[in-house]
Amino acid sequence: MLRFVARRLLQLIPILLGLSVLLFAWVRALPGGPAQALLGEKATPAAIEQIEAQLGLDRPLWEQYVQFLGRAVRLDFGASLQTGRPVLEEMARRFPATIELAIAALVIAVAVGIPLGYLAARRYGTWLDSVLVSGSLLGVTVPIFFLAYLLKLVFAVQLGWLPTAGRADPRAYAEHPTGFYVLDGIVTGNLPASWDALTHLILPAIALASIPLAVIVRMTRASVLNVLHEDYVRTAEAKGLLAGTVTRRHVLRNSMLPVTTVIGLQMGVLLAGAVLTETVFAFAGVGKFMADGIVARDFPTIQGFILVIAVSYVLINMIVDLLYGLLDPRVRVS
Amino acid sequence: MRVYGKVGRIVALTASVGLLAAATACSGATSTGDGESKTFVFGASDDPKTLDAAYVSDGESFRVIFQIYETLVALKPGTTEVVPSLATDWKVSDDGLTYTFNLVKDVKFHDGEPFDAKAVCYNFDRWYHFKGAQQNGDISYYWQTIFGGFATQDSESAPKTSRYDSCEATEDSVATLHLKQPSSALLSGLVLPAFAIASPKAIEEGGTDLAINGDSIAYTGGFGTKVVAGTGPFKFVSWDRGEKLVLAANETYREGKPALDRIIFRPIADATARMQALQAGEIDAYEGVAAADIQAVKNVGQVVERPAFNVGYVGMNQKVPLLKNHKIREAIAHALNRQALLSAAYPEGAEVANQFLPPSQWGYNNSIKGYEYDPEKAKQLVAESGEKDLKLEFWYPANVSRPYMPNPQAVYESFAADLEKVGFTIVPKTVPWTPDYLQSIQADGKGQLFLLGWSGDYADPDNFVGTFFRETTPQFNLTDPEIQGLLNKGLAETDQAARQKLYEEANQLIFDYIPGVPFVHNRPLLGLGKNVSGYQPSPVSLEYFKLVKIEG
Amino acid sequence: MSIAEEAPPGEPTSPNGVDAVAAEQPPARGLRGEAMRRLLRNPMAMVGFALILVFVAVAVFAPWIAPYSPKDNSWLSQVRPGAYPGPSAEHWLGIDPLGRDVFSRLVHGARQSLLIGVVSLTIGATVGVFLGLLAGAFGGWVDVLVMRLVDIMLSVPGLLFAIAIAALLGQSLTSVMIAIAVVNVPIFARLLRGEMLGQRAADYVLAARSLGISRAGIVFRHVLPNSFTPVIVQGTLTLALAIVEAAGLAFLGLSGSDPSAPEWGRMLTDAQVALTSAPQLALYPGLAIVLAALGFTLVGEALREALDPKLRR
């Protein structure tokens, strides 16, 4: 097991290095170069020269890359052009919000997606199957931000069931020691605050969940269908095991393996989708900060965001692989 | 295969997830109950930059600062008339070089420090001794506008000389300002929140460090971000960036405790989202009601308008050869269907502009008729101009809403279509408002045709036409001795009637020259909840929340 | 944000997670005919074909279908804030807030969407297929190099990757198309390499090799044509994604430089301003995007299923 973990970690290195090269190239290719991107359009030639010297842009390319890597490893992306504060600080403050949202979306996607996918497989070829499959196809073709607007218009504005914007009711009192608002309420013994934060999460989380939900439905369906065709299921049936036992023992457990992988992969989709959803719901997470950064051409922020998301994406995938290994001994052996 | 056993349970699970969501939904709407405490939630478009008044010039920062701090002189609510505030009365010497302010007595800052003449002079001396980055035009904009330079000139862009000489605490409650040069705009200027008097102790203990990195400014000092103390009706409580900024009533405010117990500023960037938040009762007020949303806001509350103290215009850069041709400029003026745009996309109160000065400002020339919308005449003028290559870049700012231009892209699209109809080829150019757009247009003069405008800071024609045309600015590149001569004369003149005549004359010349086509004097709209009263819209966007009441 | 980007770095599953079993064996003519029959019997595929047909026809014949120029704002004087003239005989879908014919804009918008989809797909698929070919044909260090590159590209979520590239290249239709194309490259590269690996050991390749046919000859005459089917399946799905992704980019302000040019994503984004008073203005382009993307997705998924022998009964 340890060797498996070590090998997976080693495999990460070339990916991360490659990613840093890609980002380095991206920063170099920015209009006017990195100094201009840091200084903005007002930069005087003298200021650019000074910054270029400071950043070592007059040195050979490989030396610059090493320097860039050094800063990237320390997560030093410079100051955000929007706020003037270090990108790392800005991201750290907003990251809990996005993680909270992504988890909520994932919970919805899994809790709804797996049963629906299972249902579709079990009713393979019926109208219910067609409806579920078409619905899941629809889920990936509706632009997230459009869905988010519609949800807000109907459930927050017209029906007034849920709040339209933000992470918490501004009038309510709450302390935020961790930055995870739902958790904060529990930690500080302020359950109404947790509840309030939860209501603010629902709509953005549903919008964000649309794509993962659709993918999980179809993945579960395909996977369950595969398992249902496996010999051991037929054997179990032939042995006269009760239908319920077959389901629990074999079908669900075995079909969950590929679904786990997909769930991990969906984290990336969720983090990227947060850029759109958070903007619609004025949800103060990293996604919204990134979207504002695009408008303001805040390159240090875009750069930091991409690196952080990519690294967490790769790490999550690794963890999923490890989990996969735990669930399926065959993987560990190979 | 008959293995349907578990389906029922799974369906039940799905259903219960749905139920949970619904249950959560119902309780969400009831969490606003606040008992007797009166809380006013204002939907802002952004966070303030900092609450150190001397460092900012933007509306969102000013709005909050205006509630916490006070200035020596203030504006009568809803007007541009200067009235006493921290100074009960004042005397100006005949040479205009000495201002003696008698201060209110027995007033304390929020941190318990006494407000006195020493505190006033501490603030003025702090501003005058700004160094290095503090002399950046973005940071101390209003000091530089009203007083000019600093004790030392550290930045090339800072003015060389200063009108300020010294501040003297002649008595505990008498502060005397000595100037090097007289300035007719001084008193009107001192009402700006940028000249708010803060507690010297808070400034010293909080620290006022700045870090500049290109266009971005980091307010690294604690004053204005963590430590905030003025003398105003509301005290700073907390600031959770991106989420909310909280103020509480100052129990010991010298005019008595305000009606509101708390004010919460909630940043929501998008105007439609702010409107929806108002509809849902999450906020009590917001700025920037879109014309299309007026009815929707009225259904749940009220719409109030600010007086039209602004102008939006299509600028024409005289550096561009095509735009040097007067016939072309005239053609453009006649090609733009300004009334149709305003009727379709602006609130009812918006008026077509023909001068770079709002009608309520003295100096406005009532005899100017304006440019008619006449595409045929425009085509004819284009033909007469002899120009063949009719290609023009048309600049507009992206993702911003200005008081005179709630939706710049819509204005651009409408005008571009008008211009293409009479034969121009329009190339769109768009960059973000700050810093790129202002920089490109105002400093670098990159614009050809461009959309821009101005909201008055104080009631003086020089604040409008003087800013645009008194000197040759990169945005217009207009060098016209006659116009510039008149405007300089207007600024130096002290006799009010003579000034008025000079500005009226200048406006006629500007109208004839057509350095740009003014298209709107807008009345910016604010949306208020049903239970809000006492909100007094201000022509210069400085509204006293101490007058606001909230029922129920 | 896609069904096609979930391939995990370093895990050779097919993009959609459904095992690309069909690809592991060279589809014989009979099998392909069988697949075609199943495709034609699938109602979802038929709906998809119909949607695609309408979409492409509208895009191609836009100038003849649209009654007015998409930029003509002659009806501005009929517009009042929040009150936009609805459908009429002259204006089938009414007038937009800037006095233009909504139907004409929608029809012309199909052109832009199809253009973005086709161009980005062509670039992305060509580069991706080429890289995949390189990796599959040469193996060894070329393979390692290409696949590492693919892994790296896949380590950034697709939408984010597109945003980074579009932000870099600035606001233009070209940069949107390039951004979406780049996101597609690794997907096609991995797909084709998988195909090649699967077929390298196939009987007909071994036979060809034993006959002394050159490597290039085998690749171009045999392997490539046989890999075509999965590329087409992926391409169909990619077209759908391109349309949706372009809308997402437009929402973030990354789209063509001319705001008046009718583009669905941009129309949808701009319509948010009037969402309360005129939700239909958002609904039209929104539905157009969904239907066009759904058409390609339905056909792509139906194709995939038709070609999957595991699901055959």
Which CATH number covers residue B202? 3.40.190.10
- Each residue of C297-306: pLDDT tens digit? 999 888 887 8
Whether residue B24 and residue A198 make contact (CB cut-off 8 A), yes or no, is yes
| Count of alpha carbons within 13 angstroms of residue C12, beta-carbon side | 15
Kindly state the helix (H) or strand (E) to which residue B249 belongs, with its residue range: strand B244-249
Mutate which of C2, C3, C284 to test chain A, going by most A C-beta atoms within 10 A? C3
Q: Which of B35, B71, B66, B86 is nearest to B236 (CA)?
A: B66
- Kindly state whether residues B344 and B257 are assigned to the same domain: no
Tokens of B291: 């014309």
**What are the chain A neighbours of B35 within 8 Å (beta carbons)?**
none
- Kindly state whether residues B69 and B216 are assigned to the same domain: yes
Cα-Cα-Cα-Cα torsion B317, B321, B323, B327, nearest 10 degrees, comes to: 160
Tokens of B40: 């006013």
Q: What is the pLDDT of residue C25?
A: 44
pLDDT surpassing 90 at residue C255:
no
B 441-460 → A contacts, CB under 8 A:
443-444
**What are the chain C neighbours of B275 within 8 Å (beta carbons)?**
276
* Cβ atoms of B199 and B111 closer than 8 Å: yes
Whether residue B292 and residue C72 make contact (CB cut-off 8 A), yes or no, is no
- Kindly state whether residues B54 and B170 are assigned to the same domain: yes
Kindly state the helix (H) or strand (E) to which residue B420 belongs, with its residue range: helix B408-421
Closest Cα in chain B, distance from residue A323 (Å): 24
**What are the chain A neighbours of B2 within 8 Å (beta carbons)?**
243
* Cβ atoms of C49 and C303 closer than 8 Å: no
pLDDT mean across residues, chain A: 81
* Chain C nearest-CA residue for B406: C273
**What are the chain B neighbours of A122 within 8 Å (beta carbons)?**
3-4, 7
A162 contacts: CB under 8 Å, gap ≥ 6? A155, A156, A199, A200, A202, A203, B25, B28, B29
- Kindly state whether residues B468 and B542 are assigned to the same domain: no
pLDDT surpassing 70 at residue C151:
yes
pLDDT surpassing 90 at residue C104:
yes
Q: Which structural domain, as residue segments, surrounds residue B29?
A: 17-284+528-550
Residue B407: which of C72, C273, C277 has the nearest Cβ? C273
User: Is residue B2 within 8 angstroms of chain A, CB to CB?
Assistant: yes
Residue B12 falls inside a structural domain: no
| Chains touching B by CB (3 or more pairs below 8 Å) | A, C
* Chain B nearest-CA residue for A175: B240
* Chain C nearest-CA residue for A154: C276
User: Is residue A157 within 8 angstroms of chain B, CB to CB?
Assistant: yes
Q: How far is it, in rounded angstroms, from Cα C201 to Cα C172?
A: 45
Beta bridge partners of B450: B315, B395
* Cβ atoms of B161 and B180 closer than 8 Å: yes
* Cβ atoms of B193 and B65 closer than 8 Å: yes
- What pTM was estimated for this model as a whole? 0.83
B 225-284 → A contacts, CB under 8 A:
240-244, 264, 266-270, 273, 276-277, 279-280, 282-283
pLDDT surpassing 60 at residue C8:
no
Q: What is the pLDDT of residue B71?
A: 96
Beta bridge partners of B265: B42, B245
User: Is residue A248 within 8 angstroms of chain B, CB to CB?
Assistant: yes
* Chain A nearest-CA residue for C299: A137
* Cβ atoms of A260 and A252 closer than 8 Å: no
* Cβ atoms of B17 and A107 closer than 8 Å: no
Whether residue C310 and residue A265 make contact (CB cut-off 8 A), yes or no, is no
Residue B344: which of C97, C273, C276 has the nearest Cβ? C97
**What are the chain C neighbours of B399 within 8 Å (beta carbons)?**
253
What's the rounded mean pLDDT across residues A244-251? 63
Residue B7 falls inside a structural domain: no
Return the amino acid letter for B342. Answer: L
Angstrom distances, CA of residue B543 to CA of B60, B79, B309, C253: 12, 10, 14, 33
Residue B8 falls inside a structural domain: no
Whether residue C276 and residue B343 make contact (CB cut-off 8 A), yes or no, is no
Residue B532 falls inside a structural domain: yes
- Kindly state whether residues B187 and B121 are assigned to the same domain: yes
Tokens of C57: 């026809």
Residue B30 falls inside a structural domain: yes
Q: Which residues of B458-488 are buried (b: 16+ CB within 10 A; e: fewer)?
A: bbbbbbbbbbbbbeebebbbbebeebbebbb
* Chain C nearest-CA residue for A28: C168
User: Is residue C251 within 8 angstroms of chain A, CB to CB?
Assistant: yes
For the CA atoms of chain B, what is the radius of gyration?
26
Q: How far is it, in rounded angstroms, from Cα B413 to Cα B392?
A: 14
Dihedral sign of CA atoms A288, A286, C173, C65 in order: negative
Q: How far is it, in rounded angstroms, from Cα B48 to Cα A244?
A: 61
- Kindly state whether residues B315 and B209 are assigned to the same domain: no
| Chains touching A by CB (3 or more pairs below 8 Å) | B, C
Closest Cα in chain A, distance from residue B243 (Å): 7
- Kindly state whether residues B347 and B278 are assigned to the same domain: no
- Kindly state whether residues B120 and B206 are assigned to the same domain: yes
Residue B213: which of A79, A170, A247 has the nearest Cβ? A79
Q: How far is it, in rounded angstroms, from Cα B352 to Cα B337?
A: 10
Q: What is the pLDDT of residue B213?
A: 62
Residue B477 falls inside a structural domain: yes
User: Is residue B39 within 8 angstroms of chain A, CB to CB?
Assistant: yes
CA A250 to chain centre: 30
- Kindly state whether residues B105 and B245 are assigned to the same domain: yes
Whether residue C253 and residue B399 make contact (CB cut-off 8 A), yes or no, is yes
- Each residue of A252-288: pLDDT tens digit? 777 777 787 778 778 888 888 899 999 899 898 999 9
Q: How far is it, in rounded angstroms, from Cα C119 to Cα C180?
A: 9
* Residue B400 φ/ψ region, left for φ over 0, alpha for ψ in the -120 to 50 degree band, beta for the rest: beta
Number of domains in chain B: 2
- Kindly state whether residues B269 and B324 are assigned to the same domain: no
Show the DSSP H helices in chain A as ranges: 2-29, 33-39, 45-55, 61-73, 87-122, 127-141, 144-151, 181-187, 191-228, 231-238, 243-246, 253-280, 286-295, 299-327, 329-333
Kindly state the helix (H) or strand (E) to which residue C49 belongs, with its residue range: helix C43-60
**What are the chain A neighbours of B3 within 8 Å (beta carbons)?**
122, 228, 237, 243-244, 246-247, 251
Q: Which residues of C59-80 are buried (b: 16+ CB within 10 A; e: fewer)?
A: beebeeebebbbbbbebbeebe
Q: How far is it, in rounded angstroms, from Cα B51 to Cα B208?
A: 11
pLDDT mean across residues, chain C: 82
Q: What is the pLDDT of residue C24?
A: 41
């499959």: which residue's tokens? Answer: A133
Q: What is the pLDDT of residue C6?
A: 38
Closest Cα in chain C, distance from residue A194 (Å): 29
Tokens of A312: 């967490």
Q: How far is it, in rounded angstroms, from Cα B414 to Cα B408?
A: 10
* Chain A nearest-CA residue for C292: A141
pLDDT surpassing 50 at residue A47:
yes
* Cβ atoms of B346 and B392 closer than 8 Å: no
Tell me B313's DSSP state: E
User: Is residue A278 within 8 angstroms of chain B, CB to CB?
Assistant: no
**What are the chain B neighbours of A237 within 8 Å (beta carbons)?**
1, 3
Return the amino acid letter for B328. Answer: I
Grouping H, G, I as helix, E, B as strand and the rest as coil, residue B266 is: strand
B 208-237 → C contacts, CB under 8 A:
none
User: Is residue C39 within 8 angstroms of chain A, CB to CB?
Assistant: no
Whether residue C160 and residue A262 make contact (CB cut-off 8 A), yes or no, is no
Residue B173 falls inside a structural domain: yes
* Cβ atoms of B528 and B286 closer than 8 Å: no
Most trustworthy range by pLDDT among A187-201, A307-321, C35-49? A187-201
Residue C156: which of A276, A299, A310 has the nearest Cβ? A310
Q: How far is it, in rounded angstroms, from Cα A220 to Cα A129?
A: 12
pLDDT surpassing 80 at residue C109:
yes
In tens digits, chain B (552 residues) has pLDDT values of: 333 333 333 333 344 444 344 434 433 333 344 456 899 999 998 889 899 999 988 889 999 999 999 999 999 999 988 999 999 999 999 888 999 999 999 999 999 999 999 999 999 999 999 988 888 877 888 898 889 899 998 877 788 889 999 999 999 999 999 999 887 778 888 999 999 999 999 999 999 888 766 556 778 888 998 999 999 999 999 998 888 999 999 999 999 999 999 999 999 888 888 998 998 889 999 999 988 899 889 999 999 999 999 999 999 999 999 999 999 999 999 999 999 999 999 998 899 999 999 999 999 999 999 999 999 999 999 999 999 999 999 999 987 888 899 999 999 999 999 999 999 999 999 887 766 788 788 888 899 999 999 998 888 898 899 889 988 888 999 999 999 999 988 887 777 889 899 999 999 999 999 999 999 999 999 999 999 999 999 999 999 999 999 987
Whether residue B346 and residue C81 make contact (CB cut-off 8 A), yes or no, is yes
Report the DSSP pairing between strands B425-432 and B391-398.
parallel
* Chain B nearest-CA residue for A45: B214
Q: Which of A75, A139, A122 is nearest to A243 (CA)?
A: A122
Mutate which of A17, A146, A213 to test chain C, going by most C C-beta atoms within 10 A? A146
- Kindly state whether residues B133 and B211 are assigned to the same domain: yes
- Kindly state whether residues B244 and B340 are assigned to the same domain: no
What's the rounded mean pLDDT across residues C161-177? 86
* Cβ atoms of A285 and A101 closer than 8 Å: yes
pLDDT band, very low/low/confident/very high, at A48 (cuts 50, 70, 90): low
Return the amino acid letter for A23. Answer: L
Q: What is the CATH number of the domain that holds B466?
A: 3.10.105.10
Other beta carbons less than 10 A from residue A56's beta carbon:
13
Residue B304 falls inside a structural domain: no
Percentage of chain C exceeding pLDDT 90: 37
